Chains A and B, each alone.
Chain A
Amino acid sequence: MIRVLIADDHGVMRKGLRLQLEQHEAIEVVGEAANGREAVRLAEELHPDVIMMDIGMPNLNGIEATAQILKRNPDAGVIILSVHSDEEYLVRALTAGAKGYLLKESADVDLLRAVQAVAQKKSFFSPAVAKTLLEDYVQQMKLRGLKDSYDLLTEREKEVFQLLAEGKSAKEVAAIFTLSPYTVETHRTRIMQKLDLHSAVDLVLYAVRKKIIS
């Protein structure tokens, strides 16, 4: 049973989400919050597996609420619900520690997959977000006369890259490939250099853009 908390300041949206989620037997909506502060309080009381978090809420917005919830309970899986497919929102959501980013316009289609993925500690990003990010990326590269350097990665680096982007730690990746964590770290450094990435968030963004994860 996946226990879900819904935080959105619009009652219609909460109701819609609840209806959609409760069609599935494996999902239980344990609470609803109408603002950020309430979401933080309920997350602490109810210990849900997944929290659906709207960004634009009064009394502490969704990003801030996410950061506060994850500070107290790092295992909570937060899915940001947003109408924006812009990179800035995604970056903020990732920085705050959200695992998923779901666009409201495609929530009905992707909702179940998102909740299931995040419940299993995987990332989930709406395909439309990846599309926007990629378009932006391609255009920026073209305008600046740069080339995508993904093909410079070796096969092993691509595999490591995917796992890291999915949120696995170096230790976990090492276990999967039976490598030493140091080797994985070296791979990570080389990947970041080749792709001109500077942080873990950059790495995830890049992966979303290239549809390496979704």
Chain B
Amino acid sequence: MRSRTWLILSIGFGTLILLIALLGFGATRRAQALHDQAMSAHEAYLQTDTVLREIPADLYVSGILIRDYLLDPSPSMAPEYQEDLVALHSSIRKRLDLLAQRLGTGEERTSLSQLRNELEAYWKSVDPILTWSPEDKLVFSRMFLRQVVLPRREAVVALAREIGEINAANLRKEQRRLQGSQELFQSFLRRTVAFALVLGLVVAVISTARVAVLERRSERQRGRAERAERELRRLSRKLVQAQEEERKSLSRELHDAVGQMLSAMTMELGNLESSIASSPEKLRERLNEARSLNAATLREVRTLAMGLRPTMLDELGLGPALRWQGREFSRRSGVPVDVQIDGDLDALPESHRTCIYRVVQETLTNCAKHAHAKRIRISAYGRHDWVKLSIQDDGVGFDPDGANARGLGLIGIQERVRELNGTVTIVSGPEKGTIVEVEVPVWRGVAAG
């Protein structure tokens, strides 16, 4: 689920960014291209138009030159006029070549060659007059101008105008083409923008939903972490208190019981000293008193030491220590405890024996505090690769998942067992008694070192 959302969002965001970049660059470039095309079309039109205007202008100049020549009576000027006319002729020819370059196709070409023919014919018709004598000029000039130059010039101007119209039509055609391409691009732009919008919306919806889910989840996790931390603080406080309590009670017992007894012993020894002179019976009585006091002190110290860690565990092994503990518990609480030992517990490593012993101790302490049991059954089964322990009581039970289920005792049990990679199972319920089951594996390789 998580990785799929991540993939979808990555693809969505990637596409979105790509689209925006494409739109931005594409639109700018397209607009620039359209503008350039429009400008160049207009430029071409203007240049053609200028040429088309210049041809009739040159023609008119040539007409004026011809008229001047015809009116000039002296023949000596003829070569000069001829030179000017030739220059004009070649200028017009150049302009025609320029036009031919600009207008290359179909209709225009026909009009253009007509124009060229017409112009050539015009120049041909002009040629003979340069050889005329002054008399010829007087006689023919008027007729020549009216019958030859004028109509031909008219024809040329008409043709130039025609080509001009074609040129204008070309411009309009180009403009229409550009307009169409512009519209096509705009519709592409609209579609792309619409797609980007929809995609953006989808990505936004998915992201928002995802963020909401993650936020809720992290909120829950923070709540859990806070609860765990509070619980930890509570437990460590309890642990410190418990340790202090234990020290206090140990100190009190040492002071009250052992200390008092040793004080009494000192006193008794003083008595003894003062009775040295008295009768042997009196002396023996004092001695017996001192001896029994000493024995009682010894018992007290032994009980204290056994409570801390029974020597039995080290001297006799786990089985006897468990049986002893069961009996001691019975003695103190009045609840009968059955202890069943199977298999080989003595082969267990020291760490395992201590663990099992402490688990039984803690569980019995819990039983004494809360269970109100009438009978307790402890069974331990040891094998070469694991040890199993089960402690069952018929007491009031408790809710193992309940808020107050995890007291220090249970946590201590769980920590000890977890340390050895074992498992603790607690089956209980109100008025159902309690079964604590522990299974701890034994790693021979490690244990044997």
Contact = CB atoms under 8 A, between A and B. Distances in A.
> A and B, one complex?
yes
Interface stretch (B22-30, B317-325, B383-391, B401-409): B317-325
Interface residues of A, number: 21
B311 A88 contact: no
Interface of B is mostly: helix
A89 B316 contact: yes
Given A55-B315, A63-B315, A83-B302, A105 B295 contact: yes
A169 interface: no
Interface in B277-333: 291, 294-295, 298-299, 302, 311-312, 315-316, 320-321, 323-324, 327, 330-331
A99 to B, nearest CB: 19
Contacts of B315: 55-56, 61, 63, 89
A87 B324 CA distance: 8
9 contacts: A55-B315, A56-B315, A63-B316, A83-B298, A84-B312, A88-B324, A89-B320, A105-B299, A140-B330
A91 B320 contact: yes
B429 interface: no
Contact of A136 (B302, B331, B334, B335): B331
A12 interface: no
A144 B336 contact: yes
A88 B320 contact: yes
A92 B336 contact: no
Contacts of A144: 336
Interface in A93-113: 104-106, 108
A154 interface: no
A86 interface: yes
Nearest to B319: A88
B421 to A, nearest CB: 30
A139 interface: yes
B321 A88 contact: yes
A1 interface: no
Contacts of B302: 83-84
B368 to A, nearest CB: 15
B331 to A, nearest CB: 6
B331 A105 contact: no
B334 A143 contact: yes
Interface of B: 291, 294-295, 298-299, 302, 311-312, 315-316, 320-321, 323-324, 327, 330-331, 334-336
Contacts of A84: 302, 311-312
A88 B323 contact: yes
A56 B336 contact: no
Given A56-B311, A83-B302, A105-B295, A139 B316 contact: no
B222 to A, nearest CB: 53
Q: Which 6 A-B pairs have the closest CB atoms?
A: A88-B320, A143-B336, A105-B295, A88-B324, A92-B316, A105-B298
A124 B298 CA distance: 22
Interface string A69-93: 0000000000000011011110110
B334 A88 contact: no
A90 to B, nearest CB: 10
Nearest to B320: A88
B330 A139 contact: yes
Interface string A40-73: 0000000000000001100001010000000000
Given A86-B312, A105-B299, A106-B295, A92 B330 contact: no
Contacts of B335: 143
A145 to B, nearest CB: 9
Given A104-B298, A136-B327, 18 more contacts: A55-B315, A56-B311, A61-B315, A63-B315, A83-B298, A84-B311, A86-B312, A86-B324, A88-B312, A88-B320, A89-B312, A92-B316, A105-B294, A105-B298, A105-B299, A139-B330, A143-B334, A144-B336
Nearest to A109: B291
A56 B295 CA distance: 19
A165 to B, nearest CB: 22
B353 to A, nearest CB: 14
A139 B324 CA distance: 14
Interface string A139-171: 110011000000000000000000000000000
Nearest to A93: B316
A143 B294 CA distance: 32
Nearest to A145: B336
A89 B313 CA distance: 11
Nearest to B328: A86
